[in-house]
Structure formats: C-alpha cells, structure tokens
Structure 1
Amino acid sequence: MGFELYALEQSGAGGRTLRVSIDHSEPITIEDCERVSRIAGPLLDHSELIDGPYDLEVSSPGAERPLRAHADYERFNGKRVNIRYRTGTSETVVEGPLVAVDSAGIAVSALGARGRAPVIVHIAWDDVVAGRLAVSI
C-alpha cells in the first residue's frame, strides 16, 4: 500500500476511539483512508490493543500538518510554512515559503514591512520550537 503511520492516538471515553493518521508521498484521498480502515480494522480486532468495541478513525495529517522531522522540512521545501522559533529568551513566529533546508537549519522568506521586499529569515535547528505547513487563503 505504501502508506506511513504518521500518528496514532487513543482517546474518547475509556480510550474507545483509535485515531490513525496516515501519510504518503502523494496526497491522501478518502479512498486511501477507507482502504487502510478496511485492512487495519480486522487486524485491530484480533490484537490486544483495544478490548471490546472501539471506533477507528483514519485520516491524513491535514493541510496544516506539523513538520516533525528534518525529512518533513526537506519534503516541503518551497511550500508555505509557519515556524515558531527561539530568539534569545523569547519566541517569534515567521510565516512564508520555506526556501532552504540544510544541516544547519532552515530559511523562510518572510514578508517585508509595509510592502518592502521579502526578508530571508535563517533559523538554526536548535532554535526551531515548532513548524507546520501553512495554508494561504
């Protein structure tokens, strides 16, 4: 099938809901989620993960998915991102196209003030607090 397990969460009253988030190099479709659900359901029924009835929810990581690993940043280089990062003792947020990813960190093209040219913000990996894709509307 070629899908990757992106996240697994057990929630709801008594932990009776199992949320599975899948990923793939191509966009995830509703048909993909249905296919994974049809295959995973019987496997979970025979496992000891959840005893008794449960709800299985299969989804994609979403349009504003978190960027969790270096590989995520490489994969989405060129896409619009929202990055929260440390600047000394405080945190700052920058949003714009991810323009570079390397072993030292990332670079985001941020809008310049009052119509000025974009500014490239370089952020070291150690300073990245959180990152996610950002949808522009």
Structure 2
Amino acid sequence: MKGQNKKAKNRLKFKVKTRTHKNRSPVNKEKIVAQARELIESLCETEGLELVHLEYQREAGGRILRLFIDGPGGVTLDDCVHISRQSSDLLDVFLEDTGPYRLEVSSPGPNRPLRKRRDFDRFKGNRVKIKTAQPVDGQKKIKGVLMGISEEMVKLSVNGKIACIPYQEIITARLAD
C-alpha cells in the first residue's frame, strides 16, 4: 500500500488517446501550444503542481501533445492520471480544431529541463548541462554544478572555476546525471 503512492524519481507516464475531431483544417502549432499552455498551467496551479514543459509534435503514430508536470515533492502516477483526465476534458472543449492527437502526461524525469529563471535557483547544487548560442569560455556545451542565477547571469562551478553564462544565450539547460 505504502509503495503504491511513493513518489517516483524516474519518469512516470500516463497515456490517453483523446477523441478524434472531424475538422481536418491545417494545424497552427504555435497557436495550439499557446492555448494548451494557458489552460494546463492554470489547471496545474489549482492542483498545486507546475507545468514544466509542453510539446506538440507529429510522430509516426500521429500528433502527440506531451505535458511534463512536477510538484514540490515530485509527482505520483495518480497525479499524472488526474491531470491527464482533467486536461483531456479542457482540451477537447477549447482546442476543437487540432485534429486527432494523443495526450501524454508525465514527470519531467531525472534529466528535467530548466526553462524558467526560478528553476536555476531551485536546483542550486545540482549538476547541469547547458547548451549556449554563443561560446562561453570557448565552449557551447557546458557541464557543471549550478550555483544559481543573479541578474542576467547563470553561474556554474566547472572544474573548480566559476563560469558565468548570460541567461539569454542559453538554448537548453537540463539536470545532468
């Protein structure tokens, strides 16, 4: 019983196939992502969770909408199921012109992306991988221990030295093993 609701450190997934919509007009990906993000962020906030990332893309089996959620103590499978059911209902009502798609809800996993400024403070002391648009100290890919963010600079400890990375130069950042 106790193990069933235990917070998992590895990625949790719950997949749901939503209804197929008959309208097959061209899909505006950016519009769908923006509308879905607004709806799901609001839903997650009311549930005490955070929408970490949302992606909408075409894959071999059709279109897929992936939601990555997290909470202060992680997320359980029950959290993923609950958000999946709630968001499926919301999306079916407010995103009628998307065409058929699958909905996946999961935790961000151990290598979660860092997207918001607050993520860079929240995960201080963790190992991270950062990819930048312009080289920093001659490198575009940097691994180190996150020291936080101040003003517009993300600070890492890399081999005993401090690397300062301009926030706006970061293409991707994620927790590392």
The question of 1:107 aligning with 2:149 is answered: no
Offset, 1:14 = 7.9
RMSD (CA atoms): 2.7
Aligned match of 2:170 in 107, 128, 134?
128
Structure 2 unmatched ranges of 5 or more: 1-46
Structure 2 CA distance for partners of 1:10 and 1:120, relative to 1, 3 Å:
same
Sequence identity, in percent? Answer: 39
Structure 2 CA distance for partners of 1:35 and 1:107, relative to 1, 3 Å:
same
What is the SS of the residue equivalent to 2:171? strand
TM-score normalised by the chain length of structure 1: 0.73
Aligned match of 1:11 in 44, 58, 62?
58
Offset, 1:78 = 1.6
Aligned partners of 1:67 and 1:133 also within 8 Å: yes
- Runs of at least 4 residues of structure 1 off by over 6 A? none
Structure 2 CA distance for partners of 1:11 and 1:25, relative to 1, 3 Å:
farther
| Counterpart Cα distance in 2 of 1:134 and 1:13 | 29
| Counterpart Cα distance in 2 of 1:19 and 1:100 | 28
Structure 2 CA distance for partners of 1:87 and 1:2, relative to 1, 3 Å:
same
Structure 2 CA distance for partners of 1:130 and 1:8, relative to 1, 3 Å:
closer
One-letter amino acid matched to 2:103:
L
| Counterpart Cα distance in 2 of 1:123 and 1:82 | 12
What is the SS of the residue equivalent to 2:78? helix
Alignment: residue pair count: 128
What's the counterpart of residue 96 of structure 1? 144
What is the SS of the residue equivalent to 2:151? coil
One-letter amino acid matched to 1:34:
V
Structure 2 CA distance for partners of 1:12 and 1:84, relative to 1, 3 Å:
closer
Structure 2 CA distance for partners of 1:16 and 1:93, relative to 1, 3 Å:
closer
| Counterpart Cα distance in 1 of 2:97 and 2:124 | 37
> For residues 15-94 of structure 1, what are the structure 2 equivalents within 5 Å?
15-47=62-94, 48-51=96-99, 54-85=101-132, 86-87=134-135, 91-94=139-142
Structure 1 unmatched ranges of 5 or more: 112-117
| Counterpart Cα distance in 1 of 2:140 and 2:101 | 41
Structure showing greater relative contact order (alpha-carbon pairs closer than 8 Å, 6 or more residues apart) = 2
What is the SS of the residue equivalent to 2:109? coil
What is the SS of the residue equivalent to 1:61? coil
Aligned partners of 1:95 and 1:110 also within 8 Å: yes
